[in-house]
A and B are shown apart, each in its own frame.
Chain A
Amino acid sequence: MPHDHDHDHEHGHGHDHDHEFSELSDVALRVRALETVLAEKGLIDPAALDVIVDTYETRVGPRNGARVVARAWSDSAFKARLLEDGAKAIAELDYGGRGGEHIAVVENTADTHNMVVCTLCSCYPWPVLGLPPVWYKSAPYRSRAVIDPRGVLADFGVTLPEETQIRVWDSTSEMRYLVLPARPEGTDGWSEERLAELVTRDSMIGVGLPLKPGASA
């Protein structure tokens, strides 16, 4: 959801000061200092910063990944290419660039469920999922996904059969992962557009399952 972006009107949280004048929080001051110093040196272009923010706030998000998944469900040749070289196949839909230089796509099957984490920080396949949700960046998820993936899945409302093997993929800056969930039953003959509506962000991280037919908006 976009929010007010007029950073000339921000002010600090302290309201016990003179209300007539502005006050910037410590972090806001640090960010402005960085921007000023780097712009003076010609190392950053303030207009480019606005474009980057707009890109991630409005243009790049999990709908991109949903289209990739729906294509894979509909086109077995595309799916084969996707599993072979994720980033390359994803580029066929014109998605790519920063944070998506190398993407491995891991397929959920009857035997195996895949889940993605970044234990180090928050590496995430930006071009197909946008920026990660807060919980993905949190220490509890980063540690528990590895120690107790079944418990994490239960927290997200997902219970898998005992015999299903869970594979946890630890992302790095060099390799990021996208889960290809299983196509829901009862969707024979559906168009890619309709299928894409069943694909949730969480199902592509592996902490959720796609919606069932009839459950989508």
Chain B
Amino acid sequence: MIRLCSTFIKTVWATRAGRVSLLVVVGCVLLAVFGPLLAPYDPTMRNYDQAGKLLRLAGPSWDHWMGTTLLGRDIFSQMMWGARPALLVGGITALGTVVIGLNVGLIAGYFGGRTDAILMRITDIFLGLPFLPFIIVVLAMTGRSLWTIIFAMTIVMWRSTARVIRAQVLSLREMQFVSAARITGASDFAILYREIAPNVMPVALVSTAFSLAWAIITEASIGFLGFGDPTVVSWGSILYDAYASQAMYRAPWWVVPPGIAIMILVSAVYFVGRAYEEVINPRLRSV
């Protein structure tokens, strides 16, 4: 596992785009960890000017680098807090997605036959679930918290990983090293997790990166639609506040930063995934 991670980092680091993207992702992780400590203001505090008047929709200034919201809250501080839910929700969802998807794909692809048929029917059912509507319904039914968002997203997202992994396993299981392992008397379990699984890990990693990117965007979309965790300041919820207050068109400084932050983080994740994918799949490489 550690060796896989170090080859992953080395591979991505080898290209310029990969290096830059990896640094951006690390930067965002640091922001998620330390951002709330470094934020100059409490993100939910109302700010007043010297005369004691509420700073409503104040433009960017020395005191408030990204201006203030309609309720006089400091947008820069909100941005510093917003990285945490984005990466927390995205990260755990991507992890859950790959754990479920990897196992379903491995088992379906290796055992084939009836096991495969049943698992693939289940995958089909999840493939038919409309993504955002399903999450909205689950949130409406169970209450809005970061954990329900993670739960709802994971339930729908593992389907794509499972299909990709299964396709890989189907070709791997015919290979000689698998028959060799079988001749030596290795159990199905051992063949599956010691011989085949390490060989699908690269594909699983790429798939994790894409799930992470997708989960971050979805978390923001849910926040924007007003179904996010009401107790958490996230980049999506900042945009929801801006939209719901109907003041966003008077205050571009309120609308622009969260979107740019999401865009930078997600595209960095995409580029990291793709830099790695190009190495494991040379057909995609640009000359």
Real binding pair: no
